[in-house]
Structure 1
Amino acid sequence: MQKKREPVADSLAPQYPIESVDNALKLLLLLGEQPQIRLSEATRYLGVASSTAHRLLAMLAYRGFVRQDPVSKAYLPGPSLTGVAFAIFGRIDIARSAAPVMRSLSEQLRETVHVGMLDGASVRFVAAVEGPAAVRVASRLGRAMPAHCTSTGKVMLAQLPQPELRALLPREQLKRITSHSIGSRTELETELAGIRERGYATNREESEEGVASVAVPIPTRAPGLRLALNAAAPQNRLAASRYPAVAAALVAAAKEIGDQLG
């Protein structure tokens, strides 16, 4: 169970607080810290009756801020909450915020680096710095690709609970970009379990022949907003033995970028 989040230090309590509004906002804040909420958990967290917590969640669902998984009955971020997150994100110049860290990382690794954003079942590359080598992976800035075919996408999919993953990818068969792409949801779920265990994702010619990459998640506070950082290289320069060292550099840089974005 999460500890209750304290009010912002320099904020003054309203003269006439509305408890129901406060409790609804507490649930949204809780949903920003974990992927889903169960009714029993909301009841304990707020210290209210189960019927009260249910009414709060029902109203949030009515307005699209949460949605209930039909199988697990847990509450997940809804389209309105995700929409707010993306609207806020749209006002953040991520390329400018992340650029110094990405340039430093690219120089350190001597390879191309990207920031990707999960957009449904796709990954959209929103920032890029090409590596300094003459032979390098070209920038994918602005491109969208199936998330399961990229290290950037897979590391973000690995953060989703299974019901949400299966809602995004309802069919067992998955589209392949190359002969190395993952072709089934079962195979993907096995891959995602390994990613969760080691903390980073890899891609070896799954999105483009001759290209390999490593990716890690970027920590963000916005509910429903998922970002990741990758390093991409010609496959002959990115042997499996390099993955842990590259991932360690990415984790440090991802934390810096997350801190910049707030």
Structure 2
Amino acid sequence: MKSLDSAMRVLMAFMADRRSMGVMELSERLDLPKSQVSKVLATLKKHGLVVQDTESRRYVVGIRAYALGSRYVNFDPLTRESLPVMHAIVRQTEHSARLSVRDGDEVLYLIGVEGPQFFDTGFRAGRWLPWHGSSAGRVLLGYLPDADLDRILAARPLEPVTAHTTVNVETLRRTIKESKQRGYDVQRNETTIGVATIAVPIIGPAGDAIGALSLVFPESQLSRNDEAAYASKLHGGARLISLRMGSMSYPFTTA
């Protein structure tokens, strides 16, 4: 079981935002002997879960790892119920929609639907988002028990992603509280310069946030006067998803 745990740790390390990793880097990152890392990588390579670049000798995620991960999206009830709603919102707004979820103490951008106004933000499905700098992260934080919120905020410094990222804990707490009260969060330039997002909660049967539904805009195209209208459209979609996921009600006004 110890060797299996090491193999899982090596494979999970590739979820970090790095294009490729070498044996030495993984050994230092995971505090595992280089010989053990090499053996694990050889096994993962044999099964197509990682691929080695012939020139740099570094490793990247293999196509079978992608195929394995896509099985989750194919059978996840939240994804299944969200996709048709996301397509409808994209048709209404012409902007791209995202679904993000909590993954332990992280927030994961799970799936997206591109709209006619699509532009490359640099974020891809399957990538972790910063709790403090993303609208989806702050929406999800607002529905955590106080003890979990305190633990997450105390676990690591609030690192700036851009010069506009919220990095003061008390400011973040106020933003989280205000966003929960009005039912949506807006971020501008906090994760990527020139990008704005609006996110609303998807409510589960227990009244918690089981996901965050968001729209992505070029920052210059999102007027502050239009924020509430876009949020209302998102609330309409999130209400539908919430009810289909077993929630008895949805607490915010919909378009």
Please indicate the TM-score interval, normalised by the length of the shorter structure.
0.5 to 0.7
**Uncovered stretches (5+) of structure 2, i.e. residues with no partner:** 1-71, 247-255
The question of 1:181 aligning with 2:175 is answered no
Residue 59 of structure 2 aligns with which residue?
A: none
Q: Counterpart in 2 of 1:147? A: 131
Offset at 1:105? 0.2
Identity among equivalent pairs (%): 30
Which structure is richer in relative contact order (CA contacts within 8 A, separation 6 or more)?
1
Q: Could you say which residue in structure 2 is the equivalent of 1:251? A: 235
Quick check: 1:166 aligned with 2:156?
no
Counterpart of 1:203 in structure 2 is: 187
Answer yes or no: is 1:133 the counterpart of 2:121: no
Cα deviation, residue 110, structure 1: 0.9
The CA RMSD over aligned residues, in Å, is 2.5
Normalising by structure 2, we get a TM-score of: 0.62
Question: Does 116-125 or 99-108 show the bigger shift?
Answer: 116-125
Q: Look up the SS of the partner of 2:132 in the other structure.
A: helix
The alpha carbon displacement at 1:135 in A equals 4.3
Structure 2 vs 1, CA of residues 257 and 134 (structure 1 numbering), >3 Å: closer, same or farther?
Answer: closer
Query: AA paired with 2:179?
Result: I
- Aligned partner of 2:86 in structure 1 is 102
Q: TM-score, normalised on structure 1? A: 0.60
Whole-Å Cα distance in 2 between the matches of residues 248 and 210 of structure 1?
Answer: 23
State which of 186, 204, 208 in structure 2 corresponds to 1:220.
Answer: 204
The superposition leaves residues 119-159 of structure 1 with CA deviations (integer Å, 9 ceiling, x where unpaired) of 24421011210111264657631111221110011011011
User: What letter is aligned with 2:180?
Assistant: R
Aligned mates of 1:165, 1:102 — CA distance in 2 = 28
Helix, strand or coil: the match of 1:208? coil
Once superposed, which parts of structure 1, at least 4 consecutive aligned residues long, lie more than 4 Å away?
Answer: 88-91, 134-139, 222-225
Check conservation: 1:120, 1:168, Cα contact below 8 A.
Answer: no
**Displacement, 1:118?**
1.5
Mark the runs of 5 or more structure 1 residues left unpaired by the alignment. Answer: 1-87
Give the alignment partner of residue 122 of structure 1, picking from 93, 106, 110. 106
Query: How many residue pairs were aligned?
Result: 175
Q: Which residue in 2 is equivalent to 1:41?
A: none
For residues 134 and 224 of structure 1, do their structure 2 counterparts lie closer, same or farther at Cα, with a shift above 3 Å needed?
closer
Q: Does 1:192 align with 2:176?
A: yes
Partners of 1:134 and 1:150 in 2: CA distance: 18
Superposed CA offset, 1:81-102 (max 9, x none): xxxxxxx999524333221110
